[in-house]
Amino acid sequence: MSDADVRRVREDLDAIEQAAGLALPFRWADVSQALALAPAGALLAVWAYFGPGEYLVFGLVPLVVVALVAGARQLVRVEPASRREARFGAVSILAVAAGLAVYFLWVRRSGLVQGTTPGAIACFFLGILCLVVALTAPARRVYFAGTASLIPFALVFPLCANQQAVAAVGGLAVMVAGLTAAAILAWQLRTSQRGA
């Protein structure tokens, strides 16, 4: 068998692997994108801690930029596995958002949650949900980053004295999420390349 035949067979096997959903739905560019969350979260934390409280929203600008870049990158993806994961992610986010909306309406209407912040409870259960989703498939292990950042954030949230403190702790949580996600993605990509 010539080198061209071996290369063609390898490309065919890679195409079959992707079509079957066995390939990882992310690339090294996704690691860089996850790493971009770390400085964005750090900037939010620094702005919240040192910046004026009435201009707290400006600390969110780097996070909005990272989100817009991520959204634009999702629009140009063509691999079937990436599209399948993007669809799963979109449906998951919509389901969680609907559940949170119902939860916050219920809390406001019933007044049953006393002495704690409903947002902290929601963040804690979102962290648990990320843990459950991370256990469903190897391609979704990156959801552990949500668990690693949301649960500690939810535990510290009620201890924050004001909105600036919440934003500062939230920025640190975003930083932890970005670093953890990048580490998980890089580890998975390295181990999958060793096996190839």
pTM of the model: 0.74
Among 89, 79, 85, which Cα is nearest to 19's? Answer: 79
Q: How many helices and strands, by DSSP H and E, does the chain display?
A: 7, 0
pLDDT score for 70: 83
pLDDT digits (tens, 9 = 90+) for 64-123: 899 888 878 777 766 666 667 777 777 877 887 787 778 777 777 777 665 567 778 888
